[in-house]
Amino acid sequence: MDPDLSAPHSMGTTIIGVTYDGGVVLGADSRTSTGMYVANRASDKITQLTDNVYVCRSGSAADSQILSDYVRYFLNQHTIQLGQPATVKVAANLVRLFSYQNKNMLQTGLIIGGWDKYEGGQIYSVPLGGTVLKQPFTIGGSGSSYLYGFFDQAWKDGMSKDEAEKLVVKAVSLAIARDGASGGVVRTVTINAEGVTRNFYSGNSLPLWHEELEPRNSMLDILLSGASPEPMSI
């Protein structure tokens, strides 16, 4: 029960990427843990690779950071050589190259999302072994286990930007409710032809789910107001 402070920092996480009619929405929670201790309760797991391509990171914090640093570096060179913005497909395949060739050493699952003028909004999933799969939506991280059923039911093709964003926020918030390794705030990044928008949904503004209660300042508020139900006894 002692906090294992020498445990590797892991972003037991919930990450999501969905396409919508015109772009993509990426979403993530904000908890980074070292063993059972929450090392960072407001991390930013959605990282920029280029102006138009972002990646959601999960698994080992160190591995995902170094991998995205390398990919950002090479994509930057590639953009200069190409003379125009890199495509999402190229970004995804570069991520795959690193993930696959170093599969014995890395422990990170990634979701690449972006927009380019050739194919519009795209989401690519790059899980642990270095597979690349283009998908209309994908989920990842430890919290995703709780979302498979939810997405089976709630996902629809051709959603609007607002519908897609609401879906992502709802999903991350549901996963946070059940996954001890996910928590904090919900961050989203929306990418389309117009550009990139970051959003932030804090703990208090997220909906309440089953057996969750309305937060208050203190128990004393209930007691002092006098309008409370009887205290429980044995």
Q: Which tokens in the block code for residue 104?
A: 């014995």
Instruction: Say if residues 138 and 125 touch (Cβ distance below 8 Å).
Output: yes
Residue 213 interacting with another protein (CB under 8 A): yes
Select 37 or 148, whichever has its Cβ closest to another protein.
37
| Residue 218 DSSP symbol | -
Select 41 or 161, whichever has its Cβ closest to another protein.
41
**Cβ of residue 63: shortest distance to another protein, in angstroms?**
12
Handedness of CA 14, 28, 62, 76 (dihedral sign): positive
Residue 4 interacting with another protein (CB under 8 A): no
In what helix (H) or strand (E) does residue 120 lie, and over which residues does it extend? Answer: strand 120-126
**Cβ of residue 25: shortest distance to another protein, in angstroms?**
18
163-184: buried (b, 16+ CB within 10 Å) or exposed (e) per residue?
ebbebbbbbbbbbbbebebbbb
d(CA 87, CA 84): 9
Residue 76 interacting with another protein (CB under 8 A): no
| Residue 204 DSSP symbol | G
**Cβ of residue 158: shortest distance to another protein, in angstroms?**
31
**Cβ of residue 167: shortest distance to another protein, in angstroms?**
22
Active site residues: 13
Binding site for another protein (CB under 8 A): 1-3, 12, 30-33, 36-38, 40-44, 47-48, 61, 65, 68-69, 72, 142, 146, 177-181, 183-185, 198, 200, 202-204, 210-220, 222, 228-229, 231-234
